Amino acid sequence: MDHHHETDPRSPEVRTEALEDLLVEKGIVDRSRVDALIERFENDLGPMVGARLVAKAWLSPEFRTRLLDDADEVLATEDIQGAETGPVMDHIEVKANEPGVHNVVVCTLCSCYPWALLGLPPNWYKSPEYRARVVREPRKVLDEMGLSLEADTEVRVWDSSSETRFLVLPEQPEGTDHLDLEELAHLVSRDSMIGVARAEKP
């Protein structure tokens, strides 16, 4: 699947890049520092909030049940590092992968996404191609992204909106029962919480 697509010159992404280019040209900012900051937020800080939720659900059946029943209440009351609720926290629903069932998230209208839990959305998530195709042919799209599912696995596609964001609770990898919360959290990628990948094996 080709994640690249044509961008509107009026789009926020293009305008932001133009502004960054201008600031770099004038020596106001250093591009490498901007790239490093974005990389850290996208791959470390952001996803680790959601990853800790997943890891705690793996460790505690009671917590897992509460998270699936009412994620908003869990986020409001539980001490999950980085998951403090506030005006940027959307209504969240968590959908659990299990044997025979695989969940994947999309936003068909725009690119609604649980920023507070996953950090910055990947470019492919916002692309018209992903948004259109994953609804029509989810199994094929997942296969193209490197995730092959068993033929009898039911694929459920969840369409995020301005009112509700979704997060996938991936299955815990085998042989990880001895790991603690932080060790488990590092097995949980952003993509696994969108549903286009599995949690990593240690």
Per-residue pLDDT tens digits for 65-120: 999 999 999 988 876 655 544 444 569 999 999 999 999 999 999 888 988 889 88
User: Is 7 part of a structural domain of the chain?
Assistant: no
pLDDT of residue 55: 98
Domain count, the chain: 1
User: Is 125 part of a structural domain of the chain?
Assistant: yes
Q: Which residues in 93-104 are b (16+ Cβ under 10 Å) and which e?
A: bbbebeeeebbb
Residues with active-site annotation: 107, 110-112
CA angle centred on 193, ends 20 and 56, rounded to 5°: 120
User: Is 5 part of a structural domain of the chain?
Assistant: no
Higher pLDDT, 7 or 196: 196
Residues in the chain: 202
Q: Which residues in 30-47 are b (16+ Cβ under 10 Å) and which e?
A: eeeeeeeeeeeebeeebb
Residues 6+ apart with CB under 8 A from 121: 111, 113, 115
Cα 74 to Cα 64: distance, rounded to the nearest angstrom: 10
CA angle centred on 185, ends 184 and 186, rounded to 5°: 90
In sign, the C-alpha dihedral spanning 35, 190, 6, 147 is positive
Confidence of residue 30 (pLDDT cuts 50, 70, 90): confident
Decide: pTM greater than 0.75. Answer: yes
Here the CATH number for the domain that contains residue 135 is 3.90.330.10
Structural domain boundaries enclosing 23: 12-194
User: Is 81 part of a structural domain of the chain?
Assistant: yes
